[in-house]
């Protein structure tokens, strides 16, 4: 087992959330904006805002993350745990060349350097860009850089929080393919957060549906998307491209 979340609570915003993600498994967490998806991800990473506190249990390979010292969490982040955010510029240093930013987590965790950074950039379709600055790249290219950084140390768990929302459909498909290739190659667990059911259908094996801070439905992607049980899931499906394509 890679990730075990049990009875996670974050004030009144997230309540009684429990799920697990096994090694190599791809799980989608879906729901509208404000449902608690991103807060759940941030609590796993130990990155909740200071004014919020998490209760319950979050374990990675049996190691409790909630309440763990920041020094321990810092060792895990970027190594065993990695995250790709919706807006890549929030994760990139505008004054630092992208090759150096990809190399940084490997140097911190002593897993390589510049040569491997160039190979990673090549693997996400960005050969010869190591000396570019983020502002010189398109939004899709910047998201590829962020993905390369997230995959640099072969994480046990990759969390993607709406990583393709700001991208056009063609670029979105390319990024999704790169994410799938990256986790399959490393046998990483994937927690994919989105409001887009079509994306979940193309990426995930299981899906969790979140509403008002609680998981209201869970099951295989096929079961949830073809025979939803909860009224909220039915509404999501009715409003999605999947329903339109039936």
Task: Give 177-209 pLDDT, tens digit per residue.
Answer: 999 999 999 999 999 999 888 899 999 999 999
**Domain for residue 103, yes or no?**
no
Tens-digit pLDDT string for the chain (246 aa): 689 999 999 999 999 999 999 999 999 999 999 999 999 999 999 999 999 999 999 999 999 999 999 999 998 998 899 999 888 888 899 999 999 999 988 887 666 667 889 999 999 999 999 999 999 999 999 999 999 999 999 999 999 999 988 788 889 999 999 999 999 999 999 999 998 888 999 999 999 999 999 999 999 999 999 999 999 999 999 888 665 444
Q: Are strands 157-161 and 81-84 parallel, antiparallel or unpaired?
A: parallel
Q: What b/e sequence results for 172-198 when a residue is b if at least 16 CB atoms lie within 10 Å of its CB, and e otherwise?
A: bebbbebbbebbeebebbbbbbbbbbb
- pLDDT score recorded for residue 1: 64
Question: What is the domain count for the chain?
Answer: 1
Say how many residues make up the chain.
246
pTM above 0.85, yes or no: yes
Burial of 242 (0-12, 13-18, 19+ CB in 10 A): middle
DSSP 3-state assignment of 177?
helix
Q: Which two tokens stand for residue 64?
A: 């409790």
Q: Per the domain annotation, does 148 fall within a domain? A: no
Q: Supply the pLDDT for residue 86.
A: 87
Dihedral angle sign, alpha carbons of residues 75, 80, 84, 88: positive
Is there a domain that residue 115 lies in? no
Query: Which structural domain, as residue segments, surrounds residue 235?
Result: 3-89+155-244
- Tens of pLDDT, residue by residue over 93-116, are 999 999 999 998 888 766 666 788
CATH number of the domain that residue 219 is part of: 3.40.50.300
């Amino acid at each position: 087992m890679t990730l075990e979340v049990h009875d996670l609570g974050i004030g009144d915003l997230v309540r009684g959330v429990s799920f697990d993600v096994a090694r190599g498994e791809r799980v989608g967490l879906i729901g509208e904006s404000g449902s608690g998806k991103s807060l759940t991800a941030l609590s796993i990473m130990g990155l909740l805002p200071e004014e919020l506190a998490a209760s319950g249990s979050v374990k990675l390979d049996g190691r409790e993350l909630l309440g763990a010292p920041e020094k321990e969490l810092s060792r895990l982040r970027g190594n065993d745990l990695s995250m790709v955010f919706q807006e890549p510029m929030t994760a990139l240093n505008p004054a630092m060349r992208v090759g150096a930013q990809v190399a940084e987590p490997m140097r911190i965790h002593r897993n390589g350097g510049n040569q491997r950074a160039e190979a990673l950039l090549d693997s996400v379709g960005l050969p010869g860009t190591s000396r570019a600055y983020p502002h010189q790249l398109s939004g899709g290219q910047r998201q590829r850089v962020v993905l390369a950084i997230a995959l640099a140390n072969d994480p046990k768990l990759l969390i993607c929080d709406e990583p393709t929302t700001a991208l056009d459909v063609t670029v979105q498909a390319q990024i999704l393919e790169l994410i799938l290739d990256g986790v399959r190659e490393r046998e990483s667990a994937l927690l994919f957060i989105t409001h887009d059911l079509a994306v979940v259908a193309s990426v995930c094996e299981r899906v969790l549906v979140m509403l008002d801070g609680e998981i209201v439905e869970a099951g295989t992607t096929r079961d949830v998307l073809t025979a939803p049980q909860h009224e909220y899931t039915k509404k999501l499906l009715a409003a999605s491209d999947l329903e339109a394509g039936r």
